[in-house]
């Protein structure tokens, strides 16, 4: 079974919306506007590209990333990696042609089936709604969280507000940085 890893830039109050400057969010760009950049705090982002064997995205994040990430040197390893987009509305002709093999999955059952295949870890970037659905369905195995020392108030959250049983997490790696960022790698305890 493949490991499904959710990776996120997240505010202390759980917001994941608009970290890189995406339009339409009041606090857009909060990861670089309000916190000093320290390269060592982002080491995990490079490691994720080397360790992952596939990327999983929701439609909205795919539509935001696919015009930009294929040509960015920072994301070169992702260009050749198989990508999966979970969407009930995206069509094959909506997919970009310069970002490698991309498959549309129509349901969480298809994500569960993907996890049962041979291969290495699958990484989920962005995709707030998809992350909530995956978490609620018990499909996420690990979280890579870079927690920013900010309270953003309103905005899309990584975790849903669904009333459910407690889900225990085990901290397997952590570090705090001089700029206030915290790296937390947590495994989901089953």
**Tens of pLDDT, residues 110-157:** 999 999 999 999 999 999 999 999 999 999 999 999 999 999 999 999
pTM of the model: 0.95
What pLDDT, in 10s, does the model give residues 49-85?
Answer: 999 999 999 999 999 999 999 999 989 899 999 999 9
| Residue among 170, 173, 167, 175 nearest 187 (CA) | 170
CB atoms within 10 A of CB 19: 23
Q: Flag the least confident range among 2-11, 15-24, 35-44, 98-107.
A: 15-24
Q: Report the 3 state secondary structure along 50-105.
A: HHCCEEEEEHHHHHHHCCCHHHCHHHHHHHCCCEEEECCCCCHHHCCCCCCCEEEE
What local confidence, expressed as pLDDT, does residue 3 receive? 98
CB–CB of 44/144 below 8 Å?
A: yes
pLDDT (0 to 100) of residue 19: 93
Q: Is 31 helix (H, G, I), strand (E, B) or coil?
A: helix
Q: What's the pLDDT at 151? A: 97
């Amino acid at each position: 079974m493949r490991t499904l890893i959710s990776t996120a830039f997240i505010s202390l109050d759980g917001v994941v919306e608009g970290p890189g400057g995406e339009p339409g969010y009041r606090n857009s760009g909060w990861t670089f506007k309000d916190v000093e950049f320290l390269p060592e705090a982002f080491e995990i982002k490079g490691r994720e590209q080397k360790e992952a064997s596939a990327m999983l995205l929701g439609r909205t994040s795919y539509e935001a990333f696919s015009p930009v990430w294929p040509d960015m040197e920072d994301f070169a390893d992702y260009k050749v990696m198989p990508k999966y987009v979970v969407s009930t509305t995206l069509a094959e002709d909506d997919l970009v042609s310069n970002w490698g093999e991309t498959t549309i999955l129509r349901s969480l059952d298809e994500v569960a089936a993907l996890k049962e295949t041979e291969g290495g870890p699958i990484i989920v970037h962005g995709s707030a709604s998809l992350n909530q659905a995956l978490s609620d369905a018990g499909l996420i195995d690990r979280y890579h969280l870079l927690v920013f020392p900010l309270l953003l108030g309103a905005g899309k959250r990584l975790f849903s507000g669904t009333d459910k049983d407690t889900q225990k997490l085990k901290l397997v790696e952590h570090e705090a940085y001089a700029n206030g960022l915290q790296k937390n790698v947590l495994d989901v305890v089953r």
